[in-house]
Chains A and B, each alone.
Chain A
């Protein structure tokens, strides 16, 4: 069982916006602005797409955005495209371990 809770799957049509939630506790998400999000296509290494809650690394599309409220972080993908179909993982700094992860969310583009 993962420390952070994500929905198993989210789907949307091309052009739509979708949001993936990531729920933690007062020991991680609620207490630190160190939430990261990763995109992983099958057979590929994870790619960092959001860090420190709402920052994008250079080269990552501005269609990806992050936010946080209390112990829940969210990743929003706007203008959904076929290439966005992938697994998405959230992670957070934690008081009790170097890192905690969510179980992953499969995004399907209908």
Chain B
């Protein structure tokens, strides 16, 4: 059975850092294209960062230079290191598996990040 479980969210002050984790079972993270998404309150879904199986990485303009995506083969886990957090980063963050053409077939339940003083 495929499962993706995010963790690491919480309340953080502006300028702070958090690391989100996405522990995966049922498929190998490093053999797949993985994406972090987020949904801010009252807003639509937004892709945040993508890491392809071959290692190519992309970031949305809104997080470029502040967020870093990575994966740990031994733990079969995807990460998102978030630095210099801003109020506008407040959102539910999801990890998902991507397939050819950009469809995402398996999603985690999300972890909530709240950036507030």
- With a 10 A CB-CB cut-off, give which of B45, B105, B108 has the most chain A CB atoms: B45
Q: For chain B, what secondary structure do more than half of its interface residues adopt (helix, strand, loop), or is it mixed?
A: strand
The answer to whether B110 touches A38, judged by C-beta atoms less than 8 angstroms apart, is no
Q: For chain A, what secondary structure do more than half of its interface residues adopt (helix, strand, loop), or is it mixed?
A: loop
From B47, B94, B105, A48 is in contact (CB under 8 Å) with: B105
The verdict on A51 contacting B50 (CB below 8 Å), with A45-B94, A97-B58 known, is: no
Cα distance A95–B11 in the bound complex, in angstroms: 36
Q: How many residues of A contact B (CB 8 A)?
A: 26
Quick one: which of A20-72 are within 8 Å of B by CB? 32-34, 36, 38, 40, 44-48, 51-52, 57
Give chain B's interface residues, CB within 8 Å of chain A. 35, 37, 43-47, 50, 58, 60, 94, 96, 98-99, 101-105, 107-110
